[in-house]
Amino acid sequence: MPTSVDHLEPRSVWKHFAALSAIPRGSENEAAAREYVLSLARRLGLDAVQDEAGNVVVRKPARPGRENAVPAAIQGHLDMVCEKNEGTPHDFEKDPIRLIVDGDWLKADGTTLGADNGVGVSAALAVMESETIAHGPLEFVFTIDEENGLTGASRFPHCVLQSKYFLNLDNEEEFTLCIGCAGGVNSIARRKITRRAAPAGDAFRIKISGLAGGHSGVDIHRGRGNALRILGRTLLAVLERLPAALAEVNGGSKRNAIPREAFALLVLDAARAGELKSLAAACEGEARSELGSFDPGLRIAVESAARPESVMAGADASAIAGILAGQHHGVIAMSPDIAGLVQTSTNLATIATGAEQVEIATSQRSSIESSKRDAVRMVKAVFGFAGFEVEHSADYPGWKPEPQSDIVQVSQGVHEQVFGKKAELIAMHAGLECGVIGEKHPGMQMISFGPHIIDVHSPSERIKISSVGPFYKLLAGVLEKL
């Protein structure tokens, strides 16, 4: 399959996407990507400023004849989620993303693609250097560390933008205009554990794999399996029936991704290995039957492993298995106002075992602030029953839809010209930077749109190539009408 995007249109967008794909830019590692933006601004002679957080704002004057137009801002985030399949030899700190053209789709070789939000940033950069789009005064906003909890947007200065209109390029559904989003918060639970010397026996690794994963907001209602929940029920079955000692539990990789893989290390008499494998197979069969076509790739494997020096006390092992099996994951409530929109949810995201404690990360989302707080209280209470202490971070607001705003009406009109039909107005069950930055600029009208991207935050992420050209035409058309 082809690995170059040089032949794809619009070339002004794809050349920047190829360049960004060659730059490691995981969350909190955006310095090189930021320098790419700043170097382009310097080459074009544009004013650029960087705030204390590392966000960048570039200002471009209006094209001749549009000097009196109302200023508009174009925004995207520089970072990407770094996920890879087990066994994929990729170092996100130094390796470029390996691109693969597969028909009308662009994907990566065993890793996340970074189209979220690399294609939005690339489109903004194409507008930045365009000499043909008849736009008014523009501000380009490039934020950092969006994927870890909208950190860059949260630290973005108040009232620094002069724009009345704000165009976020981080939507992932063609033929839609996003006009609202959920707020969110991270809830991190920790429990101290007691260790003892590993007993006699062999070591076995229980491995949960093959799940689709996905974005913990926009994919939370799709019925996909959660590797941590499945591992928890498997461990409960094992600990109830076999004299196994638990050494460690690890799984998931990002707070905003549905966990695809999870692992547990056990010590057990080798003579009972067959029973362990039978229990794992039974748990796999049950879970596969429950997931059905929502997530058919589930596998639960039992593998030989190196013996650990220590294992957890029995009470700690039972508490950890129980909380993984019992903590809620998924949709809590659907919106009563917008058909098909998740209103409130929670994601059981990661678990990591250390020498003295275990840490479990979750995130809660809701478009209703009181519902978000209620979900947080629920999750905290359940963790408390299992002896975990909980702290919260990265709390950010939602974005209230305003379907009659000027920016929505203009964008809808241009969408009808480009696509021959009106867009579906949607709200997103995910955190967009519109809510955070908009709160700091009262009265600013906002909208979000983008090309078609699926399975974001997972190695299955891919972008529909034929959707990028119309997306860029929509962006240019809106800028010319504002």
Q: What's the confidence (pLDDT) of residue 1? A: 64
pLDDT tens sequence for the chain (482 residues): 667 899 999 999 999 999 999 999 999 999 999 999 999 999 999 999 999 999 999 999 999 999 999 999 999 999 999 999 888 999 999 999 999 999 999 999 999 999 999 999 999 999 999 999 999 999 999 999 999 878 999 999 999 999 999 999 999 999 999 999 999 999 999 999 999 999 999 999 999 999 999 989 989 999 999 999 999 999 999 999 999 999 999 999 888 899 999 999 999 999 999 999 999 999 999 999 999 999 999 999 999 999 999 999 999 999 999 999 999 999 999 988 788 889 999 999 999 999 999 999 999 999 888 999 999 999 999 999 999 999 998 888 888 888 899 999 999 999 999 999 999 999 989 888 999 999 899 999 999 999 999 999 889 999 999 999 999 999 999 999 99
d(CA 264, CA 393): 27
d(CA 297, CA 135): 48
Q: What's the DSSP call for residue 296? A: T
Q: What's the confidence (pLDDT) of residue 255? A: 87
How far does the chain reach from its first CA to its final CA, in angstroms? 41
> Going from the N-terminus, what domains does the chain have, and what CATH number goes with each?
11-182+398-481 (3.40.630.10), 185-396 (3.30.70.360)
Beta bridge partners of 72: 138, 165
- What is the residue-averaged pLDDT of the chain? 96
d(CA 10, CA 111): 24
Cβ(295)–Cβ(275) under 8 Å?
no
Give, to the nearest 10 degrees, the angle between helix 31-44 and helix 11-21: 140
d(CA 368, CA 403): 18
Q: What's the confidence (pLDDT) of residue 294? A: 97
CB count in 10 Å sphere of residue 1: 9
**Is the four-CA dihedral 297, 298, 302, 306 of positive or negative sign?**
positive
One-character DSSP codes across 218-263: TTTTS----HHHHHHHHHHHHHHHS--EEEEEEE---TTB----EE
Residue 150, classed as helix, strand or coil, is coil
pTM: 0.74
Beta bridge partners of 266: 204, 246
CB count in 10 Å sphere of residue 196: 11
d(CA 312, CA 294): 35
Cβ(364)–Cβ(346) under 8 Å?
yes
Active site members: 79, 146
Q: What's the confidence (pLDDT) of residue 2? A: 66
